[in-house]
């Protein structure tokens, strides 16, 4: 990466500067990270090797678990290591790489959630044409488009940040490199850059959230035409999807749709969507989905 500044490294303040609290952060977030990896890997392996989870919904769920695991990995290991380190230093290139990874996998999660809502819309509102519309070829193309869209989004963010000069100070009041804290350290006026970032990240979050809400409104409206059993099953599935969407998008909208200012609660909000949501997603989908739980049980019994 071509560096457009005199700063070679940044100092992350992390969640706390207290040594005792740092040990607590280390233990708590190490457990959360391991649980996140285990839960999401378990879902990915279950869907991959189960014969009963071959539909488009589980195909997209597998990619959601992949995005969750990677999003958590983009931030949590650095937080865990820094919690026990006296000097929380991250190089310029590592900082830029972290920004790219966070926004790449965050955008991928956003797009996969949209694909999952589209899949549920077709399954519930157009059941007779479901297998035709959501064929395996269509699902593959949609996932490829999600990869491409995520790459374009994160590349745009990096392009904007690389244009900024950093002359000092180099202290980031956060536990990972992100756009808003970095804008405060730039040596130039960042008003235009912030508008571009908000129009990228902020608009993507807001528009995606609105699209998802509208799609679920249509789905819930169409449930009146379903049988009692079909209505119960569809309502259960949509409820879990709506919970996931709300938990992920509300914090993102709070962070990325405002001027370049920081608030005391920003770190905890960021913890929620970068660490909390990737852990909650597999719990919500497995605890509320009998098919996934049964497939896990069968695979486990077969392995034993």
pLDDT digits (tens, 9 = 90+) for 28-80: 999 999 999 999 998 888 888 887 787 888 899 899 999 999 999 999 999 99
**Cis peptide upstream of residue 169 (ω within 30 degrees of 0):** yes
Per the domain annotation, does 4 fall within a domain? no
In a domain, 2, yes or no: no
Q: What percent of the chain has pLDDT over 90?
A: 29
Range of the domain at 175: 9-303
Lookup: tokens for 304:
């034993």
Does residue 13 lie in a domain region?
yes
The stretches in the chain having pLDDT less than 50 are 1
Query: Which pLDDT does position 138 carry in this prediction?
Result: 92
CATH number of the domain within which 169 lies: 1.20.1070.10
The reply to whether 171 falls in a domain is yes
CB 172, CB 11: distance < 8 Å: yes
The two most distant CA atoms of the chain are separated, in Å, by: 66
Asked if residue 3 belongs to a domain, the reply is no
| Number of domains into which the chain is organized | 1
Q: Is residue 1 part of a domain?
A: no
149 falls within a domain: yes
Tokens of 35: 């649980």
Kindly state the tokens that stand for 236: 């259960």
Phi then psi for residue 280, to 5 deg, are: -75, -35
Would you state the pLDDT for residue 259? 67
Q: Is the distance from CB of 251 to CB of 270 less than 8 angstroms? A: yes
Q: What are phi and psi of 233, to 5 degrees?
A: -65, -45
With 0-12 / 13-18 / 19 or more C-beta atoms within 10 angstroms meaning exposed / middle / buried, residue 20 is exposed
Q: Rounded to an integer, what distance in angstroms lies between the CA atom of residue 273 and that of residue 250? A: 9
Contact 180, 164 (CB under 8 A): no
Check the CA dihedral 164-170-173-176 and report its sign.
positive
Instruction: Report the C-alpha gap between 188 and 190 in whole angstroms.
Output: 6
> What pLDDT is attached to residue 226?
67
């Amino acid at each position: 990466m071509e560096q457009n500044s005199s700063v070679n490294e940044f100092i992350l303040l992390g969640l706390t500067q207290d040594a005792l609290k740092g040990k607590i952060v280390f233990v708590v977030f190490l457990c959360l990270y391991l649980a996140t990896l285990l839960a999401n890997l378990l879902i990915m392996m279950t869907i991959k090797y189960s014969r009963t989870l071959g539909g488009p919904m589980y195909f997209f769920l597998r990619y959601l678990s992949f995005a969750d695991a990677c999003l958590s990995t983009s931030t949590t290991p650095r937080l865990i290591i820094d919690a026990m380190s006296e000097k929380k230093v991250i190089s310029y290139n590592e900082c830029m790489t972290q920004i790219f990874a966070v926004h790449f996998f965050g955008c991928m999660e956003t797009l996969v959630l949209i694909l999952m809502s589209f899949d549920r819309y077709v399954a519930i509102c157009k059941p007779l044409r479901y297998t035709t519309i959501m064929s395996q070829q269509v699902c593959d193309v949609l996932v490829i488009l999600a990869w491409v869209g995520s790459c374009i989004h994160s590349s745009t963010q990096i392009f904007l940040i690389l244009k900024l000069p950093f002359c000092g100070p180099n202290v980031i009041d956060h536990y990972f490199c992100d756009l808003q804290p970095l804008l405060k350290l730039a040596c130039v006026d960042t008003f235009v850059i912030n508008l571009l970032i908000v129009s990228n990240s902020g608009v993507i979050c807001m528009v995606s959230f609105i699209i998802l809400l509208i799609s679920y409104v249509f789905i819930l409206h169409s449930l009146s035409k379903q049988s009692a059993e079909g209505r119960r099953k569809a309502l259960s599935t949509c409820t879990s999807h709506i919970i996931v969407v709300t938990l992920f998008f509300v914090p993102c909208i709070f962070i990325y749709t405002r001027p370049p200012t920081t608030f005391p609660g920003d770190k905890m909000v960021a913890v929620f969507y970068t660490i909390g949501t990737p852990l909650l997603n597999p719990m919500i989908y497995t605890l509320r989905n009998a098919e996934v739980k049964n497939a896990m049980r069968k695979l486990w019994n077969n392995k034993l």
